Amino acid sequence: MKIKKKILILGSTGSIGASALNVIKRYRDTIDIICLSTNRNYKKLLVQSKVFNVKNLIINDYNNFIKAKKLLKNRKIRLYSNVTEFLKENNKKIDLVVIGISGLDGLKPTLEVIPITKIVASANKESIICGWKFINNKLKKYKTNFIPIDSEHFSIWSLLNNDRHLISKIYLTASGGPLLNTHQDNLKKIKVNSVIKHPNWRMGKKISTDSASMMNKVFEVIEAVKIFNLDAKKVKIIVHPRSIIHAIIVFNNGLIKVLMHNTTMEIPLFNIIFKNNNLKYYNKTDINFDKLNGVNFIEPDNKKFPYLNILKKNKFKNTYYEIILVTLNDKLVNLFLKNKISFIKMQKLLLKLIGSNTLKKYYKKQPKNIKDIFIMVDKVKKHLNEYEKFF
């Protein structure tokens, strides 16, 4: 009898978690899902637990935890209110943790699971951007491997092997989002529904807005710098509207490596979950030459996508700058999605606030622990609330 691979999925009801389960579905006899988690979507979590026969569930939102507890009183399922409680009773080493939690809520769970797993695979941008120093230190301490899930960073990870010292330049591709072909003058009147209609990917409203503004690419450059310990000057953005190619690495030895795959997060997840297993296959897809013929690359327009100017001035060395940037963006995107500010005003406000003297004094300082990160988040929110009355 073959030993099953033991997997924990945090954020299983979100898009990353659901994609991971979809990948596992075909080969569920080889996978033992130890635990699934959600914040609020307990009904979907209960369905997942039944389909995949999962006996441990985490529900972080207390009200929904109580509701689920009542529903589960006659089922042999152990329910926990957070990762900490789960780990008190389950601390045996497992093979893989998939982190699909969004926002800085994912930082503490990421740090907590590192000691009990061989591999952490994460799509949690905010934790990587704001807390990579603490994540990396713990990865080294417990000799845990880290694999990024986002298609661009997974592509870099797949291409590098032992050639990191030969990197000359890395290009992260950007689709350009739904506004790529919108004239700059028309952006002043653009509505939420137009901004969140991504042409290639199925994503939530927040990440779709970040794609439209190109803030997601700013974040991805910061992630690449941190994860792969790169000089920020070596990481560039190139617009590739078809989203087939995800990363291009130029090496000092004259070689250029390119990684491409269809626009689904299931492919990176499949290759992470079934890493080094040649007996499993995702599908029998061949090359679609119609998609590759005439593949075009476009230099991004910094006037149309002003957030890209952020990349010119910073080295991203684990200071409060990244935390402030993430917090401002989260808050302003939320205001835009609620129709309280326009798309253009969202961008102008962020660039104005990130350059304010009130916040700039923190840019050379580093958080000493994760508590410092959340203290700074609260300071930034308070600072931004003072401006809201003028919106």
Rounded Cα distance between 301 and 167, Å, is 25
Whole-angstrom distance, CA of residue 224 vs CA of residue 211: 17
User: Distance (Å, rounded) from C-alpha 113 to C-alpha 58?
Assistant: 13
* Number of Cβ within a 10 Å radius of residue 157: 22
As given in the structure block, the two tokens for residue 111 are 């740090």
On the question of pLDDT at 75 being above 90, the answer is no
Q: What pLDDT, on the 0 to 100 scale, is given for residue 10?
A: 98
Of 69-78, 189-198, 264-273, give the range with the top mean pLDDT: 264-273
pLDDT bin (cut points 50, 70, 90) of residue 1 is low
Q: Which 8-state DSSP code applies to residue 164?
A: G
Confidence tier at 391 by pLDDT (50, 70, 90) = low
Q: Which residues face 5 on adjacent strands?
A: 31
pLDDT, tens only, 314-335: 778 899 999 999 999 999 999 9
DSSP structure class, residue 315: -
- In a domain? residue 241: no
Residue of 119, 122, 162, 157 lying closest to 259 (CA atoms): 157
Beta partners for 257?
249
How many Å apart are CA 245 and CA 263, to the nearest integer? 9
150: alpha, beta or left, given left = phi > 0 and alpha = psi -120 to 50? beta
Identify whether 178 is part of a domain: no
Distance CA 33, CA 52 (A): 7
> CB neighbours (10 Å) of residue 303?
9
Structural domain contains residue 268: no
296 or 35, greater pLDDT:
35
Q: How confident is the model at residue 77 (pLDDT cuts 50, 70, 90)?
A: very high
* Beta-carbon-side half-sphere exposure of residue 315 (alpha carbons within 13 Å): 4
The pLDDT of residue 4: 93
Q: What pLDDT score was predicted for residue 201?
A: 72
Residue 192 lies in a domain: no
Share of the chain above pLDDT 70, in %: 98
State residue 390's pLDDT score: 59
269-289: per-residue pLDDT in tens?
999 999 987 767 888 677 778
Q: What is the mean pLDDT of residues 237-256?
A: 95
- Residue 238, pLDDT > 90, answer yes
Write the pLDDT tens digit of every residue in 357-372.
Answer: 989 999 999 999 999 9
Contact 80, 57 (CB under 8 A): yes
Predicted TM-score of the model (pTM): 0.94
For residue 40, give its domain range. Answer: 5-149
User: Looking up tokens 């993430």, which residue turns up?
Assistant: 326
DSSP state letters, 360-389:
HTTTT---SSHHHHHHHHHHHHHHHHHHHT
202-210 contacts, C-beta under 8 A, 24 or more apart = 202/15, 203/15, 204/15, 204/102, 205/337, 206/102, 206/330, 206/333, 206/334, 206/337, 208/177, 208/178, 209/333, 209/336, 209/337, 210/329, 210/333
pLDDT at site 172: 97
The enclosing domain of 94 has a CATH number of 3.40.50.720
Structure tokens at 142: 């417990």
Tokens of 8: 């924990």
Count of the separate structural domains present in the chain: 1
What is the rounded average pLDDT for all residues in the chain?
93
Per the domain annotation, does 12 fall within a domain?
yes
In a domain, 76, yes or no: yes
Q: What is the pLDDT of residues 96-130, one digit of tens each?
A: 999 999 999 999 999 999 999 999 999 999 999 99
Residue scoring higher pLDDT (282 or 57): 57
Per-residue pLDDT at 280 = 78
260 within a domain of the structure (yes/no):
no
User: Quick one: three-class SS letters along 71-135?
Assistant: HCCCCCCEEECCHHHHHHHCCCCEEEEEECCCCHHHHHHHHHHHHHEEEEEECCHHHHHHHHHHH
* Chain segment 80-97, per-residue pLDDT in tens: 999 999 999 999 999 999
